[in-house]
C-alpha cells in the first residue's frame, strides 16, 4: 500500500500539516518517535502531581484562522491571556507592567518616566503598523525569484502596495530597523533601562545573539508580526499546558482522516531516481508514499534521515554551515507555594504574576549574559523569561502549590570546559540564585526542579543542536534563505520531499505557520 503522504514528526507543525492535508481529501500518516505527540509542545509530569509545558511554555500564539479552520475549540482547546501580559520587576522593588491596552501600559510606565510614558503609545502604534505588513510575509510562500509564477507576481504586487500603504515614515522605519541591533532600536524609543531591556528581550529570544548584535531587531519584528503587533507582546497560556494544544491538533487530524502512530522512529527517508518514495522505521518496516513531509529540523532531515549522496556537494557544505546550535535551557520548578516578589508589595500577586515575568533589568546585563555563552561558558546571570502557569490553570499542581516554568539564555550547546552531564545543575543554581534577588525565600519553596540543557533538547526532543527554532532566526536564514537560498518554498531539492517544521519559513514559535504554509504547497502539487 502506498500512502498519500508520510509526515515525519508529530510536533505541532507536523500535526497542522497532517490535519490540513486530511481535511482536503488526502490520507496522511504521521510518524512520531516518542510515545506522545507534541514534540517540543508537550505537557509532562516532572514531579508527582506537578505538570508543566516541558520545553516551550507559551503558545505562539497559534494562528487564529487555524484554530477556527481545524475546529480546535471543539477538541477542548482553551486559550488564556492574562493581564498584565508582562511583569518586569527590579531588585529595588520597582517594576514595569505592560498590558494589552497601550494607554494602560503608558500610565504604569509614568511612575518611572513621564517621557517614556509619552513615547509608549507611539511605539505601540508604529510596531503594530509595521507588524501588520510583515504578517503578510509570514503567510506567503517565498517566491521563486528566477521564475516567479503569475500568482506569485500578483502576491508581490500586493505586498508592494501594502508597503506603500504604510506611509513614508513607517516604510522608512521598516527598512532601517531590520538590520539594527535591538539595543539601538530600544534606545530610540525609551530612556528607562528596564523598558529598554524588556524590548531587547523580544529581540534576543531564541537567538544566539546579544542585544548589541546586528539584525536582532528583525527578530523582534518577526515575533511581533506572529503575535498581534502589540507593544507588550503576547503571553498566551493553554489550559492543560501546550500538550492540550497538540492533543487537540491530533484529534482534529484524526477526525479528518489522518492516521497517527507514536513510538515510530523514522530511521531513513527512501529515494529512487531522485525522488522521495517513503520512509524506513527503526526495526526495518518500510512505508511507501507519494510524498514525505518532514517536520524535523533541516540538519536532521538532510544529514541524518536522507542519503547525502542524493544532494549536491555544495548544498551539503551549506547545510553543515547552517547555524543551528542552541543557546537556551529550560528549568521547571515544583513550588510548595507562590513566591513573594518584592516588587509586588501588597498588590494582587496572582494577577500580576500570571503573564510573563522578565528578569533582566538592564541591556548590558543581557549583553554580559551573551558574552559568557559566546566563549563557551554558562551564563552566571542569565536572561530569564518566567511563567507561573498554575495561576492561569491550577490543575497543573496540587492545591496551593505552583509550577514555575523558566526559559533562560544563555547556555551554549558546546561548552568550552567540562560537559553537560557534569555541569547541568549549574543552570538550575544560576536560575534560583537570580530569582532570590527578586523573590527572597523562593528557594525554600522548591520541592523539585527539572533542568533541560541544550543537549537534553537534542536527545529527548529531537532538536538538533538544542536549537528551539530549528535554526537561527538571523537575517541570513530568513524568508528566501530559510533554511537555504533556493530551498525556501517548502519543497526540498529532492522531488516529493517537503519541509514543514520550524526550519522552514517563517520559523519558530508555536504558531503552526510553517506547517500550514507547507500543506498549502503540497496540496497544489498533489
Nearest Cα to 434, choosing from 387, 389, 382? 382
Nearest CA to 324 out of 512, 507, 140, 135 is that of: 507
CA dist 43 and 35 (Å) reads 13
Omega before residue 69 within 30° of 0, cis: no
Residue where the block lists cell 490535519 = 19
Residues 6+ apart with CB under 8 A from 113: 190, 191, 192, 195
Question: So what's the pLDDT on residue 157?
Answer: 66
- Helices 102-109 + 114-138 axis angle, to 10: 150
pLDDT of residue 160: 72
Three-class HEC string of 374-431: HCCCCCCCCEEEEECHHHCCHHHCCCCCEEEEEEEECCCCCCCCCCHHHHHHHHHHHH
Collapsing DSSP to helix, strand or coil, 353 comes out as coil
Residue 161 pLDDT: 66
Helix (H, G, I), strand (E, B) or coil at 363: helix
> Which is nearest to 322 in space by CA: 299, 304, 301, 295?
299
**CATH 3.30.519 residue ranges in the chain?**
325-461
Q: Where are the beta strands (DSSP E) in 20-115?
A: 28-32, 43-47, 50-53, 79-80, 86-89, 95-98
Give burial (CB, 10 Å; 0-12/13-18/19+) of 194: buried
Residue 45, all three cell numbers: 509530569
CB atoms within 10 A of CB 381: 16
State the CATH class of domain 325-461. Answer: alpha beta
**Cβ neighbours of residue 524 closer than 8 Å, sequence gap 6 or more:** none
What is the per-residue pLDDT for 144? 79
Residue 5, φ and ψ in degrees, nearest 5: -145, 135
| Spatial contact of 109 and 116, defined as CB atoms under 8 Å apart | yes
Spell out the residues 6+ positions from residue 462 whose beta carbon is closer than 8 angstroms to its own: 9, 33, 39, 296, 297, 300
CB distance 290 to 3 below 8 Å: yes
Sign, CA dihedral 64-66-69-71, equals negative
Architecture of domain 2-44+57-78+241-323+467-525: 3-Layer(bba) Sandwich (3.50)
Instruction: Give me the phi and psi of 86, to 5 degrees please.
Output: -135, 135
Q: Helix, strand or coil for residue 497?
A: strand
Task: Going residue by residue through the chain, which has 526 residues, state the pLDDT in tens, using 9 for 90 and above.
Answer: 799 999 999 999 999 999 999 999 999 999 999 999 999 999 999 999 999 999 999 998 899 999 999 999 999 999 999 999 999 999 999 999 999 999 999 999 999 999 999 999 999 999 999 998 999 889 999 987 767 666 666 666 666 767 777 778 888 888 899 999 999 999 999 999 999 999 999 999 999 999 999 999 999 999 999 988 899 999 999 999 999 999 999 999 999 999 999 999 999 999 999 999 999 999 999 999 999 999 999 999 999 999 989 999 999 999 999 999 999 999 999 999 999 999 998 888 999 999 999 999 999 999 999 999 999 999 999 999 999 999 999 999 999 999 999 999 999 999 999 999 999 999 999 999 999 999 999 999 999 999 999 999 999 999 999 999 999 999 999 999 999 998 999 999 999 999 999 999 999 999 999 999 999 999 999 9
Distances (CA, A) of 322 to 303, 308, 312, 474, 483: 11, 15, 15, 11, 8
- Output the pTM of the full model: 0.95
- All three cell numbers of 51: 505538570
Closest CA to 329 of 494, 206, 441: 206
Question: Residue 136 belongs to what H/E stretch?
Answer: helix 114-138
Q: Is the dihedral of CA 419, 422, 425, 426 positive or negative?
A: negative
- Using alpha carbons only, give the angle 226, 355, 71 rounded to the nearest 5 degrees: 50
Provide CATH 3.50.50.60 ranges for the chain.
Answer: 2-44+57-78+241-323+467-525
Amino acid at each position: 500500500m502506498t500512502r498519500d503522504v508520510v509526515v515525519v514528526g508529530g510536533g505541532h507543525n507536523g500535526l497542522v500539516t497532517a490535519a490540513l492535508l486530511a481535511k482536503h481529501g488526502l490520507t496522511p500518516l504521521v510518524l512520531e518517535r516518542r510515545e506522545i505527540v507534541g514534540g517540543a509542545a508537550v505537557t509532562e509530569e516532572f514531579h508527582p502531581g506537578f505538570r508543566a509545558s516541558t520545553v516551550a511554555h507559551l503558545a505562539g500564539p497559534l494562528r487564529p484562522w487555524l484554530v477556527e479552520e481545524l475546529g480546535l475549540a471543539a477538541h477542548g482547546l482553551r486559550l488564556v491571556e492574562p493581564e498584565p501580559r508582562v511583569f518586569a520587576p527590579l531588585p529595588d522593588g520597582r517594576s514595569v507592567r505592560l498590558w494589552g491596552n497601550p494607554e494602560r501600559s503608558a500610565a504604569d510606565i509614568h511612575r518611572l518616566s513621564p517621557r517614556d510614558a509619552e513615547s509608549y503609545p507611539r511605539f505601540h502604534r508604529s510596531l503594530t503598523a509595521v507588524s501588520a505588513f510583515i504578517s503578510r510575509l509570514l503567510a506567503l510562500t517565498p517566491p521563486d525569484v528566477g521564475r516567479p509564477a503569475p500568482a506569485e507576481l500578483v502576491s508581490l504586487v500586493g505586498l508592494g502596495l501594502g508597503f506603500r500603504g504604510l506611509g513614508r515614515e513607517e516604510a522608512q522605519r521598516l527598512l532601517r530597523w531590520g538590520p539594527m541591533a535591538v539595543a539601538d532600536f530600544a534606545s530610540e524609543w525609551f530612556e528607562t533601562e528596564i523598558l529598554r531591556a524588556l524590548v531587547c528581550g523580544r529581540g534576543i529570544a531564541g537567538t544566539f545573539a546579544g542585544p548589541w548584535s546586528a539584525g536582532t531587531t528583525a527578530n523582534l519584528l518577526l515575533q511581533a508580526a506572529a503575535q498581534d503587533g502589540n507593544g507588550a507582546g503576547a503571553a498566551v497560556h493553554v489550559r492543560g499546558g501546550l500538550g492540550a494544544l497538540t492533543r487537540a491538533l491530533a484529534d482534529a487530524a484524526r477526525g479528518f482522516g489522518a492516521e497517527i502512530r507514536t513510538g515510530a522512529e523514522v530511521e531513513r527517508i527512501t529515494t529512487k531516481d531522485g525522488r522521495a518514495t517513503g520512509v524506513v522505521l527503526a526495526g526495518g518496516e518500510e512505508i511507501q508514499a507519494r510524498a514525505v513531509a518532514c517536520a524535523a529540523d533541516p540538519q536532521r532531515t538532510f544529514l541524518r534521515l536522507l542519503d547525502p549522496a542524493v544532494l549536491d556537494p555544495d548544498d551539503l557544505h551549506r547545510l553543515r554551515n547552517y547555524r543551528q546550535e542552541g543557546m537556551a535551557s529550560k528549568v521547571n520548578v515544583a513550588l510548595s507555594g507562590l513566591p513573594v516578589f518584592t516588587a509586588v508589595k501588597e498588590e494582587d500577586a496572582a494577577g500580576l504574576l500570571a503573564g510573563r515575568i522578565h528578569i533582566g533589568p538592564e541591556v548590558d546585563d543581557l549583553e554580559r549574559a551573551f558574552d559568557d555563552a559566546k566563549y563557551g561558558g554558562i551564563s552566571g546571570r542569565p536572561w530569564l523569561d518566567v511563567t507561573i502557569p498554575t495561576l492561569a490553570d491550577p490543575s497543573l499542581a496540587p492545591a496551593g502549590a505552583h509550577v514555575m516554568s523558566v526559559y533562560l539564555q544563555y547556555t551554549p550547546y558546546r561548552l568550552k570546559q567540562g560537559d553537560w552531564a557534569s555541569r547541568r545543575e549549574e543552570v538550575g543554581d544560576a536560575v534560583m540564585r537570580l530569582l532570590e534577588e527578586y523573590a527572597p525565600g523562593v528557594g525554600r519553596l522548591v520541592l523539585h526542579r527539572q533542568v533541560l540543557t541544550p543537549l537534553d533538547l537534542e536527545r529527548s526532543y529531537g532538536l538538533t543542536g538544542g536549537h528551539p527554532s530549528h535554526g537561527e532566526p538571523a537575517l541570513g536564514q530568513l524568508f528566501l534563505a530559510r533554511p537555504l537560498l533556493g530551498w525556501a518554498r517548502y519543497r526540498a531539492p529532492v522531488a516529493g520531499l517537503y519541509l514543514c517544521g520550524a526550519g522552514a519559513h517563517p520559523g519558530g514559535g508555536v504558531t503552526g505557520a510553517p506547517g500550514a504554509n507547507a500543506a498549502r504547497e503540497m496540496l497544489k502539487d498533489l
